[in-house]
């Protein structure tokens, strides 16, 4: 088997599960039923020749800071007032609240990385 064929086969045998942290831990309480489900699912992969890894996916830290990923309590824990994040300019939340999808606002979402809430948590 040539190296190129081997590498291609190996890449196809790896699966990435995308599990944002806010789905696993809501309000600081772990969803053990969901974690049991993920564990059961992941134990099946090797039986079929797959390797899997969990990606605790996040963009702009959390949906509470304008992205997705970490739960709100992580921001609350370090002292952010969740109700004042947008008003204070610490986060851009229009896209999360249902707006921000018009052509004129395209490209604003990534600016959330430079906002205080996401930049502090990074």
Residue 78, CB half-sphere, CA atoms under 13 Å: how many?
10
Identify the pLDDT of residue 4: 56
Identify the pLDDT of residue 78: 92
Could you say which residues of the chain have pLDDT below 50? none
């Amino acid at each position: 088997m040539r190296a190129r064929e081997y590498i291609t086969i190996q890449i196809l045998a790896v699966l990435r599960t995308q599990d944002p942290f806010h789905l696993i831990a809501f309000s600081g309480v772990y969803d053990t039923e969901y974690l049991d489900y993920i564990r059961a699912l992941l134990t099946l992969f090797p039986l079929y020749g797959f390797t899997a890894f969990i990606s605790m996916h996040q963009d702009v830290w959390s949906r509470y800071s304008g992205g997705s990923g970490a739960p709100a309590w992580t921001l609350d824990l370090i002292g952010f007032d969740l109700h004042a994040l947008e008003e204070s300019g610490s986060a851009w939340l229009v896209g999360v609240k249902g707006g921000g999808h018009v052509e004129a606002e395209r490209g604003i979402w990534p600016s959330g990385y430079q906002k205080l809430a996401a930049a502090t948590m990074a």
